[in-house]
Amino acid sequence: MNELYFGQIVDTINTGLVVLDPSFRVGYWNRWMALHSGRPAESVVGQPLFALYPELDTPRFVGTCKTVLAFGHYSFLSQRLHKYLFPFPNPLAPEDASDRMMQSCSIFPLRDADGRIVAICIAIQDVTEMVAYEHKLLAMSRTDALTGAANRRHLEDRIREEFARHARYKRPLSVILFDLDNFKAVNDTHGHQCGDHILQAVAATVSGTLRKSDLLARYGGEEFCCLLPETSLQPARQLAERIRRNVMNQEHHFGGKSIVVTVSIGVAVLDERIDSADALLKVVDDALYEAKREGRNRVCAPADPGP
């Protein structure tokens, strides 16, 4: 194949191609790069890359390029870790999550006729659309459609993860499980639409009570679970008490009526007697049952194991 074809291929391919010499000067900048950067090749070729893009001058990027130059391996930069290399505008609609183009990049060596590595090439692929889909699907697979809280599957995944983290680093981990009291009566009296409205409102209230690192999940019909990393029993109990009061003090308005609901709450902290994520859920479920049995609208935690 002649060189004329190669020139057409690199300027037509839907991939950014940049050639850098060992001093990080730009040797080649294909049309894809010109289009997305807004910089024509004439204004870029011969320039030091870091004068054009100072944000690329990080130890990791420089180190990666240097090792490719030295050893001739291929380096793949994961979009999931780096998001992007070149700060280009998002080519999709602006309402999309990020204002940057998401990129999957690889860096590989270029050799002269004697096989010596004399430059590196960076290939940039626009994966913005794929990333947007992936994030949307991930979010959907984790979210309860009615309340916007996490769903049970995501809760169970996170509890297992946090349990493993606890086992490794011995950090405290607490769980709150709560249930709307007499919710069947609310549904029977005011209808399911009203019940749904209350579930949404309670989820929003509790969500506003939690920290960003906590997770609220819809565990069952009217049952919710909060996962509280880095939280020991005492602050978890205080938080549970706050949730109980906030829910009780909230008036729900539906169909011209004003409705108040209460919650019963179980609290549990992970300790050495609990050997699995499922066992932790069992302990907190027992505590919730205790709160129900003792008359509802209250917080229960298993007795302190003592010193």
Partner 1 sequence: VNAPAQLSLSELERDALKELINVSFGDAAASLGEIIGTYVLLSVPNVEIMQPEQIAAYIEREFSDPQDLSVVEQYFIGKIKGAAYLVFSHEGGRRLLSLFEGAIQVDTSAYSLDFLEKETLTEIGNIVIGACVSKLAELLTDTVSYLPPRFLARAAAPGSFSGTLFEGESHVILLKTLFEFEERNVSGYLFLVNSYESMQWLKRAIGEFIDGYA
Q: Site for partner 1 (CB under 8 A): how many residues?
A: 28
> Which has the closest alpha carbon to 162: 235, 230, 232?
230
For residue 276 the two structure tokens come to: 């699995």
- The answer to whether the beta carbons of residues 121 and 108 sit under 8 Å apart is yes
Indicate the DSSP class of residue 88: P
Site for partner 1 in 30-59 (CB under 8 A): 59
Task: Please state the closest distance from residue 200 (CB atom) to partner 1, in A.
Answer: 23
Build a one-symbol-per-residue string for 75-114: x at contacts with partner 1 by CB under 8 A, - elsewhere. xxxx-xx-x----------------------x-x--x---
Q: Which is nearer to partner 1, 116 or 273 (CB)?
A: 116
Q: DSSP string of 146-187?
A: TT-SB-HHHHHHHHHHHHHHHHHH---EEEEEEEETTHHHHH
* 141 near partner 1 (CB under 8 A): no
Question: How many Å is the Cα radius of gyration of the chain?
Answer: 28
* 171 near partner 1 (CB under 8 A): no
**Which residue in 115, 208, 295, 307 binds partner 1 (CB under 8 A)?**
115
Question: Of the residues 42, 222, 230, 241, which is catalytic?
Answer: 222
The reply to whether 161 belongs to the active site is no
* 153 near partner 1 (CB under 8 A): no
Q: Amino acid letter at 17?
A: L
What φ, ψ does residue 6 adopt, rounded to 5°?
Answer: -60, -40
Q: Which is nearer to partner 1, 5 or 74 (CB)?
A: 74
> Of all helices (H) and strands (E), which one includes residue 32?
helix 31-37
Any idea which residues carry the catalytic annotation? 222
Which residues of the shown chain bind partner 1 in the complex (CB under 8 A)? 59-60, 63-64, 66-67, 70-78, 80-81, 83, 106, 108, 111, 115, 134-135, 138, 157-158, 161
